[in-house]
Amino acid sequence: MTEPTAGEPLCVIYALSINGADYRYVGMTQIGAEARLRIHRKTGRSPKLPSARWIKKHQALGEAIRVTVLEECTPENIGDREAAWIERLRSEGHDLLNVTEGGRGGLPGFTHTDEARAKMSAKLKGRTFDDEWRARLSAASSLQERRPVSEETREKLRVAMVRRGPMTAEQRAKQSAAMRGRKLSAEHRAALSAGAKRRPPQSEETRRKRSETLRGHELSEETRRKIAASNSRTYAARRGLLITDEIVRDIRAAADSGTPIRELASRFALPYNQTWRIAKRRSWKHVE
């Protein structure tokens, strides 16, 4: 445990900076500011929060992190005073790295503001990973220990999903726009296939839960058309049939004008039954 420096006040609000004036982080402690700074320096070695990453960066540059005591407090009001100092310094223009508004309670339940989400979205928009970066991510992921998810964690996830509710139409449109035109490489497809084969089959309980979740769920007309289009293309690809939207339209136009189905099947090198289903709009229904 880090020991406080003798003679210094223990219960204080403190601020971290490089020059002693431009504060970047405000915190509260009951072990003294210098002792708390020593802990900050240690946690900065494996940063998870913005303040820890800032500390690691400046330590790598050889710059000393300075701690300034802003106010001495009592254990009863220290949380309120931290929140007050964060609000005050931000209003004075200090670019603080605190991810909460301060006070007792820490990070649980913290959510970013709409402004912060917009900034993060703008920063990441258009960002692409090069092959070297992807390889490093893959290597790091393969080394991680894949622990089984406990039933307690599964229940928490289920509760969170219920609380979140279904996606809005705007969210669905954004996801669709992000995925549109995206093609998976052969290597990626092979990796997905191998992962699916290693995955154990679903239990009866899991199937029952999925069935209960989907019960009463109605698909939109647009979603039905997308599913029909995917099924039609998959059917044709598995049987080695050359069928496109243009061929479907040509078959229907010719059939409507009186051309026999058998002649159309011969012309487009398709089975008779498949040609008949296309002409009668029993399959490829998504093509107008």
How high is the pLDDT of residue 25?
94
How high is the pLDDT of residue 45?
67
Residue 72, beta-bridge partner list: 12
The region that residue 158 occupies, defined by phi over 0 for left and psi between -120 and 50 for alpha, beta otherwise, is: alpha
How high is the pLDDT of residue 66?
93
DSSP string, 25-62: EEEEESS-HHHHHHHHHHHTTS--SHHHHHHHHHHHTT
Report yes or no: 14 and 68 within 8 Å, Cβ to Cβ: yes
Between CA 107 and CA 184 the distance in angstroms is: 37
Long-range interactions of 240-249: CB distance < 8 A, separation 24+: 241/270, 241/271, 241/274, 242/268, 242/269, 243/270, 243/274, 243/278, 243/284, 245/284, 245/287, 248/278, 248/284, 248/287, 249/287
In this prediction, residue 71 has a pLDDT band, given cuts at 50, 70 and 90, of very high
Please tell me whether the overall predicted TM-score, pTM, comes out greater than 0.85 for this model: no
In this prediction, residue 60 has a pLDDT band, given cuts at 50, 70 and 90, of confident
For 128, list phi and psi in degrees, rounded to 5. Answer: -125, 150
Provide the mean pLDDT of the chain.
82
**Helix or strand holding residue 13 (H, E):** strand 12-17
Between CA 37 and CA 22 the distance in angstroms is: 17
Between CA 96 and CA 102 the distance in angstroms is: 11
In this prediction, residue 140 has a pLDDT band, given cuts at 50, 70 and 90, of confident
Digit-coded pLDDT (tens) for 89-102: 999 999 998 888 87
Between CA 280 and CA 274 the distance in angstroms is: 10
How high is the pLDDT of residue 100?
81
For 25-29, 43-47, 131-135, which range has the lowest pLDDT when averaged over its residues? 43-47
pLDDT: is 177 or 143 the higher one? 177
How high is the pLDDT of residue 110?
55
In this prediction, residue 1 has a pLDDT band, given cuts at 50, 70 and 90, of very low
DSSP 3-state assignment of 70? strand
Q: Would you call 175 exposed, middle or buried from its count of C-beta atoms within 10 A (0-12, 13-18, 19+)?
A: exposed
How high is the pLDDT of residue 20?
85
Q: Give mean pLDDT, residues 182-193.
A: 84
Q: Write down the architecture of domain 12-103 according to CATH.
A: 3-Layer(aba) Sandwich (3.40)
Task: Give the largest CA-CA distance in the chain.
Answer: 102
How high is the pLDDT of residue 111?
63
How high is the pLDDT of residue 3?
53
For 55-59, 74-78, 211-215, which range has the lowest pLDDT when averaged over its residues? 211-215
How high is the pLDDT of residue 104?
64
The domains of the chain are located at 12-103, 221-279
For 12-21, 227-236, 275-284, which range has the lowest pLDDT when averaged over its residues? 227-236
